[in-house]
Amino acid sequence: MKTLTVALPGREYDILIQRGLLAQTGERVRAVLPRARRLAVVTDSNVASLYSEAVTGSLTAAGFDCRFFIVPAGEESKNPRQLAELWEGFMDFGLTRTDGVIALGGGVVGDLAGFAAATILRGVAFVQIPTTLLAQVDSSVGGKVAIDLKHGKNLAGAFYQPRLVLMDPDTLDTLRDSTFADGMAEVVKYGCIWDAGFFDFLTARPSREELTADIEHILYTCCDIKRQVVMEDELDTGLRMILNFGHTLGHAYELAGHYTRWTHGQAVAAGMCAAAKLGVRLGVTPPDIPGRISDTCGALGLPTQITCSMEDYAAAVGLDKKGAGEDITLILLDKIGHAVPRKMPRRDLLALLEVLS
Ligand code: GLY
């Protein structure tokens, strides 16, 4: 078993990584919630059919009364109506402040269940059991929980740390190749911003088979980096911004594809390649880096370039909104393994993007 501790004052929690861990859900949750009687398990329609029996069996054996709340799979479930349905459902179930909520699934389930846990009864204990690579290396750690509004993604949310994160790498075996690659974009990002040795390790393992053989090490390394960043800047006012490497331009590509053509990971991969090119243009990034990142992403089946209109770039850098402040912070690399935030006027970034596209 690999264990990492997110040591936030008064809200410390462990991330446990082990193949087959799902079978120990009951005893692991009991260890952090000794007084809980009821657990609301939020999951989606895909994940429920795979794991509800095993998780129910384990939770029941540990003395919990659990009820499953199954939401439709997909980003559309992160909405205020679905959130209100969960709140009412938790109350129908008789959830009290000593009980808990479990998020069993990918990033959508984690964000929605986490926000429901943060807000019901002014906050009940919350456990993350991420089942996708993207959720395991990113969204399940660090406490960002949210739903989407008509005005945009993740606009209503909170920083609400889980009590425990349980990662069973076996759950990745059922992912489609494209979903696995989607998570790999964030994995590559950690190499780019923090750990050159890890970047080389990934570059040397371009196939899913090779990556899967070392998956526990990969999950541990990513979560260790995220843990360190979150411990220094939980509320995202400084260092945590480096986790946005590739995301500002990635957001433009997601917009350009109306959030259906490109997955988050695909958009982030192309966004990292574009940010590296911008960094070269700005004299921050050495010229060999865009090629190294695009080779690594390309070998994983991720796009390295996405066409995007200037309107979508403008929207992604916030130039379509009144009052979006003068400057934007773009995350650049001065070498593989080290990120540098670079503040610049939004209009200058847009002008640069026009030259590059
Ligand atoms: N996904 C970026 C963050 O947690 O800050």
Specify the CATH number for the domain of residue 198. 1.20.1090.10
Interval between CA 276 and ligand 1 midpoint (Å): 20
Average pLDDT for the chain:
95
What pLDDT sits at residue 321?
61
Ligand 1 close to Cβ of residue 138 (< 6 A): yes
Residues 169 and 192 in one domain: no
Same domain (yes/no): 348, 276? yes
State how many domains the chain has: 2
166, 229: one domain: no
Identify the band that residue 320 occupies on the pLDDT scale cut at 50, 70 and 90.
low
Ligand 1 pocket mutation pick from 15, 132, 136, 138 by most atoms within 8 angstroms of CB: 138
Average pLDDT, stretch 84-88? 98
The answer to whether residues 127 and 265 belong to one domain is no
Q: Are residues 245 and 342 in the same domain?
A: yes
State in Å: Cα 261 to ligand 1 middle: 23
348: tokens are: 């200058």
Q: What is the pLDDT of residues 90-126, one digit of tens each?
A: 999 999 999 999 999 999 999 999 999 999 999 999 9
- Choosing from 113, 145, 174, the residue where a domain stops is 174
Q: Over the stretch 271-304, which tens digit does the pLDDT of each residue have? A: 999 999 999 999 999 999 999 999 999 999 999 9
Are residues 161 and 190 located together in one domain of the fold? no
As a whole number of angstroms, the distance between CA 98 and CA 272 comes to 43
Minimum-distance ligand 1 atom for the alpha carbon of 229: 5
Q: C-alpha dihedral over 264, 267, 268, 272, to 10 degrees? A: 180
> Residue 152 — pLDDT band, cuts 50, 70, 90?
confident
Residue ending a domain, among 145, 174, 203, is: 174
What pLDDT, on the 0 to 100 scale, is given for residue 325? Answer: 72
Higher pLDDT, 206 or 14: 14
Kindly state the average pLDDT of the residues 13-35. Answer: 98
Residue having the nearest C-alpha atom to atom 3 of ligand 1: 243
Question: Which of these three, 147, 174, 201, is where a domain ends?
Answer: 174
> Is residue 168 lining ligand 1, measured as CB closer than 6 Å?
no
| Exposed/middle/buried for residue 208 (C-beta within 10 Å: 0-12, 13-18, 19+) | middle
The minimum-distance atom of ligand 1 relative to the CA of 141 is 4
Together in a domain, 73 and 108: yes
Query: Are residues 203 and 102 part of one domain?
Result: no
Q: List C-alpha distances in Å: 187 to 136, 181, 303.
A: 10, 9, 15
Which of 163, 157, 152, 92 shows the shortest CA–CA distance to 129? 163
Q: Which of 236, 237, 239, 242 to mutate to test the pocket of ligand 1 (most atoms within 8 A of CB)?
A: 236
pTM across the whole model: 0.96
Pair 54, 152 in one domain: yes
Closest-lying ligand 1 atom to the alpha carbon of residue 243: 2
144 CA closest ligand 1 atom index:
4
CATH number for the domain harbouring residue 47: 3.40.50.1970
What pLDDT was estimated at residue 324?
58
Q: Which residue has the higher pLDDT, 152 or 284?
A: 284
Question: Which residue range is the domain that position 34 belongs to?
Answer: 2-174
**Rounded to the nearest 5°, which phi and psi values hold at 69?**
-120, 105
Measure 228 CA to ligand 1 centroid, in angstroms. Answer: 12
**Which pLDDT value is given to residue 57?**
97
